[in-house]
Structures are given as structure tokens and as C-alpha cells.
Amino acid sequence: MLLLLLLQVLVSCIWLGHSELVASFESSCPQFFFRETPPNEALEPESPAWICQRHKNQYYFATLYDRSRRIPVYSAYLYQPGPGKRPKTWLVEPQLMGSVYPKTMEKEWTLLKYYNVSLEQLSKSQAVLRDYKNLTGLNRGHLNPNGHHHDFSSRMATFTLTNIVPQDEKLNGGAWNDYEQRIMIRRTQGCNTTYVVVGAVPGNSYIAKGRVNKPSHIWSSACCEVDSNHRKAWGVIAENDKNEVQLLTLGELEDMLTELYGRDQVSLFDSACPRE
């Protein structure tokens, strides 16, 4: 028993990263939202988890997670692209199992080996690696893409399954990738700071025997500060079974999401971001 305790302490000292479940983004990691204003409650699921994604003692982005559907609602981050290698390690969020577990992004095997956690116990709280095995026509789609970050630590932080949805493989490698890489570079020219919120609209189908929701749509929005007096904003949306991305104004995207969710009017950014 003492040996197990010592091993737990050792693993805690060499963790890959931290992710903190918080009561609100405004009080814990507001820096990823324009004027520290997250999207309004119109997108909030029935069983939400607010996660400040932290790696090596630094926050990198924020994720609103849907516990019941086991997918993120959205991830918010600062657009800071740069060259670098793509990480290969996938992580999970222990705190989704309960507050007694570490505030750490961990590998599945680390939890199973050192924290006496069963895979069944972990999988009740979130998506796990086996949920994404043997998919046909789908793959693991990042909401917050690793390519929008400038160093390995920030890229590594995006490789948590709480930032992943089942995405159409042609869309992920085609039109959506083109937007993330080529179009974002063009649209952000002249921007000093670009705030991004990327999300997924829950669909009517599931993978992994009904465990993980397959979104009907993937969307992204951006609010760019050119200077203290000038801003520009835009949005895109894609059906998650077609290799097409529709470029929209921010206001058009918010209206489409309002219709898709069927709730109150969606607001993704502070009102100072232009809607036209």
C-alpha cells in the first residue's frame, strides 16, 4: 500500500499536464475570450463541465464539455500558429470522474496503472481511445487544432480527448483543413490578436455503441483585434458528412446556431465584435 502511494506521488510529480474543472471561465481562465466574455448559455448542455486546459503549469485554452454526449461543445483559444511537430500522445481528463482525482491530463495507462482506475470507470465519465478505434469514414477531429499553436507544449495540450469529436474524414482532411490552414492565415492578416471559438452541434447518431455523439455540424468563429479601434470577425460552418465549408459573417453564424440549437439567441463573443 505504501509503495502504491509513493508511485502515485511520483506520477503526480512528472505529469504531462494539468486540466482544471472550474465553476466558470470568467473567474478561472478568461484570457481566451475576447474581453473575457465566453459564449452565452444558449450552447450549454444539460451536463456541462468547464475545463481550463493547462499543460506544464500554463493555461492554453478552455473547453466546455458535454458529459452525457462525451464530446466538447466548444473550445476557445488564441490563434498563434507556428512551425512544429505534431504530437502523437492522446490524453484524458481524470477530474471528470470526480474531484478526488488529480487535476492532470494523463495517459489512460497512467490512470489504470498508478491510480487504481478501471477503464470502465474512466469510460463512464468521458470518451476513451477505444471509442475511436475501427471507425469507418470518421476520425478524431480536433476542435482546437494543434497547428494553431506555436510550440510543442501548446500543441500537446490540444491532444486531450475532451477536445475531440468524431469528424467526417474527408471534411477533416479536406475543406476543414483548408480553412484551418490557408484561409485562417489570409483572414488574420493585419490582426494583432485573434480570439477563436470552435464548436460542434450535437447530432442524432452515435459511435462506439451509442457512447459518443457524432456532431451534425462543425463550426468556427473568430474575432480579430486589428488595433484598439478596429476589429473584424467571421465564422464558418460545415455539415459533418460533406466536404464543404460555408464562410459566414459572425452574425450569420450565430443565427444559424440559434436555429440549430432551437434555444435562445446564440452569442459567441462580446458585442464589440462586428456581426456584419
**Distance of alpha carbon 93 from alpha carbon 89, whole angstroms:** 14
Q: What is the per-residue pLDDT across 68-97, written as a single tens digit (0 to 9) for each?
A: 999 999 999 999 998 889 999 999 999 999
In a domain, 197, yes or no: yes
Q: What is the mean pLDDT of residues 3-18?
A: 41
Residue 198 lies in a domain: yes
**Percent of the chain at pLDDT exceeding 90:** 84
Structural domain boundaries enclosing 52: 34-261
9 lies in some domain: no
What digits encode the pLDDT tens for the residues 209-239? 999 999 999 999 999 999 999 999 999 999 9
| Domain assignment present for 274 | no
What is the predicted pLDDT for the residue at 108? Answer: 94
Q: Is the pLDDT of residue 164 over 50?
A: yes
Is position 92 within any domain?
A: yes
Which stretch of 1-10, 97-106, 178-187, 193-202 has the lowest confidence by average pLDDT? 1-10
pLDDT given for residue 18 in this prediction: 54
**CATH code at 79?**
3.40.570.10
Whether residue 150 lies inside any domain: the answer is yes
Higher-scoring residue by pLDDT: 59, 199? 199
Give percent above pLDDT 70 in the chain: 93
Q: What is the mean pLDDT of the chain?
A: 92
What pLDDT was estimated at residue 2? 38
Asked whether 58 and 201 are in contact (CB, 8 A), the reply is: no
**pLDDT tens-digit map of 14-29:** 334 457 799 999 999 9
Least confident of 3-7, 96-100, 130-134, 244-248: 3-7
In a domain, 273, yes or no: no
Q: The C-alpha cell of 208 is what?
A: 462506439
Instruction: Phi first, then psi: give them for residue 119, nearest 5 degrees.
Output: -65, -35
Residue 150 has pLDDT above 90, yes or no: yes
Whether residue 71 lies inside any domain: the answer is yes
From edge to edge, which strands make up the β-sheet containing 217-227? Answer: 18-22, 48-55, 58-66, 71-78, 193-201, 217-227, 230-239, 246-248
Domain count, the chain: 1
DSSP 180-202: IIIIHHHHTTT-SEEEEEEEEE-
